[in-house]
Structure formats: C-alpha cells, structure tokens
C-alpha cells in the first residue's frame, strides 16, 4: 500500500519505521518529512492541501496519516475526504478539541466529563472575580494553539491577574489569548493516555509519561518533551477502566451528538487526583515523544490499525501490544528550548553490541541531509529508544544508544523514567 505521512518530527519517523517493519512492501511518502525520512521513502514539498490531495489521487495513495495538530486544525482531513481519499485524523470541527481550550472545556462540562473547575471568558472583570474565589496556585490558559506555552501556573492571585491581563490584551499570545480559561489547580500525577478512534470504536494504548522540563529533576522551562516511557506502572486496570468509562466513552458519544464524530488519535492529558482521573486537556494527535515509544510496543499491524480506523472499521481488528517496556530519550540541540542552534554534523557510531542492535533504535526529528551528511538542525534532534523486559532494562538500553550518537552541543536528560524506577525500587 502507498501511504502518505504528514509531518516532520520523530513522531512521524517512528510511525514510518513501524510500518516498514511490517515488511509488507508498503511505500511511504512524507510531507514535508525531514533529513532522515528521505531514507525511508519520498519527501514531498506540496504545501497546498488541495494540491497534495490531487497528488495523492494521481499516485494511488491509499492511506494518509496526519502527525501534527496544525494541518488538522486547518482542515486537511475535510479536504482529503472531499477528494474521496482515505485519511486518518479528525475533521476540522473535531480538531477543535485541541484547537480551542474553550471549546474543549465547554464540551467536557456539557457531557459531564471530569475536569478542573473553570471559567471561560474574554472579560477581565469576570476572570478576576473567579480568580478571587480560588486558592493559589491558579491556572490560566490561553484559548488557542500556543505551541505548548499558553498555560501559566500562577503562584499567587497577583501573578494570575497579570497573566490574565496580558493574555486578554493580546500582548502575550495575540489572538490565541483573546479568550482565557481560569481554573483550579489540580494536585496529582500526570499521565498521557492515547485512544485510536474511528468515530465509534476505539483502541486504548498503554499509558505513558513524558518529561516536559528541559533539565533533570524537572527543572528549567517546559519543552515539547525530553523523553517518555510506557507502559507506566502508575496505572492499573481500575484506572484504565475509569478513563474508559468516564472520559473516552462519553467523549466519543458526545462528539457524535455534536455532529463531529471523533476519528483519529485522542490524546488525553490526565491528572490523577486521589486515584481519580481528571481531564486536563485533549490533543487530537499523538504526543511526541510518546508516539516514538508506543509504536515499538505494538505487535499487530500499525498500518492496518490506522487504515481500519480511517475507514470506521476498528471493531473488526484486534490490536496487540508486547509485554515489554519502551523508554525514549530525546537528544536536543544546545540552545533548545530558548533559541535556534547552528547546524552540527551528527555522527552515529556503528553498532556491534548485539543487545544494542536488537533492542534500540533512533527516531530522527530535527535533522537535515546535505550531501549525504546528517545535520542536527536545532530543536529536538532525535530520540533514542530502548525496549526491554523491565523499565530499567529499556532505560539502560536507550542510554547505551545515546552514548553512540554525537553532535556538537547535544543535550539530554539523564533521568528519563525516574518516576517509574522510583516506584519499581520501592
């Protein structure tokens, strides 16, 4: 089957790798892809979605998979479907679950799905009034997409009010901040849950934890994610069932009622407070780097899962997962997440050690290829993934692989999966 993957990150690379590992003769195309996906298939440069859909038709692309949120919120799925193509991802309307936090919170409230108490408003007076009713810390969120920077955890009422004023005036996030959410702070531990949905049915994947802060011990500013592991031992069957019954099922039923059945990956940011899962937010696509560690844990066909989901036939298949664990360690460029870095040549040592060969791999993200040489382009460059029978084994293997990757200014956290290892040790 010819498959087109939209996106350019490690997430898209890992989906491609999983599909190629099926050895079913699939042929891959990427738009735009990166300096390493060109070794897995063909990189395209067709920015207009109608033109891209025409390309897909002319070239008999049977399935398109969308990685990042921006094309989804822009309506790429609607355009491809108008052209009669099969595409995996939510419609523009359904993508509002991520595109607008106000839409998402109001949806959760309407269908009685657990979430933090909140107000959504564009009135500074109302926002301040609600703030005064809460105890610090207080959470202030911009409505629209802010690249993971639109949430302020204010330590005092004053700090919350400054954040509200700056958002509502358009100063901090432009139009994305012209409506805000003010909400209560939830004190618990955070999980990433992913459900692959076809509008009606869904497959819940093993729960993951990511590491947002740039430095060890969760210090420094937030990033797109510096590493992840799955499955996490912090989730048991009881919690999975609560997430299914209280969050995923009512969300799929609710979106159908809204006339926007949810097809695609529903990423649920969950805060577990005293054993109860509360919805922090939805994303409408895989997390990155969570995708990089979930793909290697799938033992049944990944392409078939996406194809069946895109054709509303998930109920026909059984998706299987390995009993192992996966850990992904992100290697980023020197100045990440503050500013760009000068491109640096990447050297990956040849792997002779059988354990490393068999149980690790690299998912490439911010890289370019110039005259056959791979360069780190800034941002998150790649993810070293290790798989093992325990989290510790998977973690040790991922770090073994990290030791074999070199580029000037490489930056990585040394404590990925610490939450789980601490628990395992106890």
Ligand X SMILES: Nc1ncnc2c1ncn2[C@@H]1O[C@H](COP(=O)(O)OP(=O)(O)O)[C@@H](O)[C@H]1O
Which spans of this chain sit near Mg ion (rule: CB under 5 A)? 269
Which of the listed partners (ligand X, Mg ion, none) does 185 bind, with a CB threshold of 5 to 8 Å by partner kind? ligand X
Q: Which of 31, 280, 298, 319 binds ligand X (CB under 6 A)?
A: 280
Q: Which of 228, 179, 178, 176 lies closest to 205 in space, CA to CA?
A: 228
Q: How far apart are CA 217 and CA 226, in angstroms?
A: 12
Q: Which stretch binds ligand X (CB under 6 A): 106-114, 182-190, 240-248, 387-395?
A: 182-190
Tell me phi and psi for residue 254, to 5 degrees.
-65, -45
How many residues interact with ligand X (rule CB under 6 A)?
Answer: 13
Q: Which stretch binds ligand X (CB under 6 A): 78-86, 149-157, 322-330, 401-409?
A: 149-157
Q: Give the CA dihedral 385, 364, 7, 263, nearest 10 degrees.
A: -10
Which of the listed partners (ligand X, Mg ion, none) does 79 bind, with a CB threshold of 5 to 8 Å by partner kind? none
User: Taking CB under 6 A as the rule, does residue 281 contact ligand X?
Assistant: yes
Which of the listed partners (Mg ion, ligand X, none) does 151 bind, with a CB threshold of 5 to 8 Å by partner kind? ligand X
Q: At what angle do helices 101-110 and 249-257 cross, to 10 degrees?
A: 100
Complete DSSP assignment for 139-162: EEEESS--TT--EEEESSHHHHHH
Strands (DSSP E) contained in 8-81 are 27-32, 42-43, 63-66
Three-class SS string for 302-327? Answer: HHHHHHHHHCCCHHHCCCCECCCEEE
> Tokens for 264?
């695609």
Q: Which stretch binds ligand X (CB under 6 A): 148-156, 258-266, 351-359, 379-387?
A: 148-156
Name which of residues 184 to 223 contact ligand X (CB under 6 A): 185-186, 190
Q: How far apart are CA 246 and CA 258, in angstroms?
A: 18
CB 134 to ligand X: min, Å: 10
User: Taking CB under 6 A as the rule, does residue 183 contact ligand X?
Assistant: yes
Q: Which of 46, 124, 151, 162 binds ligand X (CB under 6 A)?
A: 151
User: Taking CB under 6 A as the rule, does residue 288 contact ligand X?
Assistant: no
Which of the listed partners (Mg ion, ligand X, none) does 55 bind, with a CB threshold of 5 to 8 Å by partner kind? none
Q: How far apart are CA 221 and CA 223, in angstroms?
A: 7
Q: Which stretch binds ligand X (CB under 6 A): 64-72, 80-88, 181-189, 406-414?
A: 181-189
| Binding interface with ligand X (CB under 6 A) | 116, 139, 148, 150-151, 153, 183, 185-186, 190, 269, 280-281
């Amino acid at each position: 089957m010819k498959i087109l993957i939209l996106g350019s990150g490690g997430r898209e690379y890992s989906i491609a790798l999983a599909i190629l590992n099926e050895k079913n003769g699939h042929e891959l195309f990427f738009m735009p892809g990166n300096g390493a996906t060109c070794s897995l298939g063909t990189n395209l440069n067709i920015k207009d979605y109608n033109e891209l859909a025409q390309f897909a038709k002319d070239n008999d692309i049977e399935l398109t998979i969308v990685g990042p949120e921006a094309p989804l919120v822009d309506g790429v799925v609607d355009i491809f479907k108008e052209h009669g193509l099969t595409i995996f991802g939510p419609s523009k309307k359904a993508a509002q679950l991520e595109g607008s936090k106000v839409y998402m919170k109001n949806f959760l409230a309407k269908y009685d799905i657990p979430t933090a108490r909140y107000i959504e408003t564009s009135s500074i007076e109302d926002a301040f009034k609600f703030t005064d009713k809460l105890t610090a810390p207080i959470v202030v969120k911009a409505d629209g997409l802010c690249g993971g920077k639109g949430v302020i955890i204010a330590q005092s009422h004053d700090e919350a009010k400054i954040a509200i004023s700056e958002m509502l005036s358009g100063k901090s996030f432009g139009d994305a901040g012209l409506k805000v959410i003010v909400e209560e702070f939830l004190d618990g531990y955070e999980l990433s849950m992913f459900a692959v949905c076809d509008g009606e049915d869904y497959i819940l994947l093993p729960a993951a934890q990511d590491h947002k802060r740039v430095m060890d011990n969760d210090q420094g500013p937030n990033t797109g994610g510096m590493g992840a592991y799955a499955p996490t031992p912090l989730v048991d069957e009881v919690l999975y069932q609560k997430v299914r019954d209280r969050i995923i099922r009512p969300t799929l039923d609710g979106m159908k009622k809204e006339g926007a059945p949810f097809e695609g990956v529903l990423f649920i940011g969950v805060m577990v407070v005293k054993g109860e899962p509360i919805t922090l937010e939805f994303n409408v696509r895989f997390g990155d780097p969570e995708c990089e560690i979930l793909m290697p844990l799938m033992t049944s066909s990944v392409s078939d899962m996406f194809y069946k989901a895109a054709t509303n036939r998930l109920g026909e298949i059984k998706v299987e997962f390995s009993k192992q664990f996966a850990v992904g360690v992100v290697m980023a460029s020197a100045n990440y997440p503050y500013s760009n870095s000068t491109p640096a040549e990447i050297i990956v040592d040849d792997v002779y050690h059988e354990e490393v060969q068999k149980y690790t791999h690299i998912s490439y993200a911010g890289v370019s290829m110039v005259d056959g040489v791979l360069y780190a382009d800034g941002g998150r460059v790649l993810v070293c993934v290790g798989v093992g029978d325990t989290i510790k084994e998977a973690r040790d293997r991922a770090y073994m692989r990290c030791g074999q990757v070199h580029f000037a200014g490489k930056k990585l956290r040394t404590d990925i999966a610490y939450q789980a290892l601490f628990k395992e040790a106890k």
